[in-house]
Amino acid sequence: MDRTQFVYKSFSPSPWCVPQKNLVTVWAEDGVIHYERRYIKQDNTEPTRAEGEGISQIFENGESVKEIASMIHWGCSGTSKNSIQLHGLIENIRPVVESLQKKESVANK
């Protein structure tokens, strides 16, 4: 799998801690992991392109699934979580990260 997209529910940063949803896309391209997230509005609609492209990041240094999940969570909520709390997020992105790792492993043989 080279791409996954899912809704990640989190809370806005303190002091408000308002429940929010983010549309998260993670994909492998050109040997690196890309991540983009866009807030889903209160009325459950995605922001239009005119309202912003969202926030994106590229992971170029062989970050682990846990490291990428932590950064995605932090980007969505501005808070940290431990690996047990990140379990669902880790499972969502694991296939993409592992598919890239497998391709790199084969290419290095």
How confident is the model over 82-92, as pLDDT tens digits?
777 789 999 99
Per-residue confidence (pLDDT) for residue 76, from 0 to 100: 81
Alpha helices in 1-109 (DSSP H): 65-77, 87-107
Q: What is the pTM of this model?
A: 0.82
Q: What's the count of helices (H) and strands (E) in the chain, helices before strands?
A: 2, 4
Residues 2-30 have pLDDT tens digits of 899 999 988 877 677 888 888 999 999 99
Residues 28-63 have pLDDT tens digits of 999 999 999 888 877 777 665 555 567 889 998 889
89: exposed, middle or buried (Cβ count in 10 Å: 0-12, 13-18, 19+): buried
Radius of gyration of the chain (CA): 15
Report the alpha-carbon distance of residue 48 to residue 58 in Å, rounded: 22
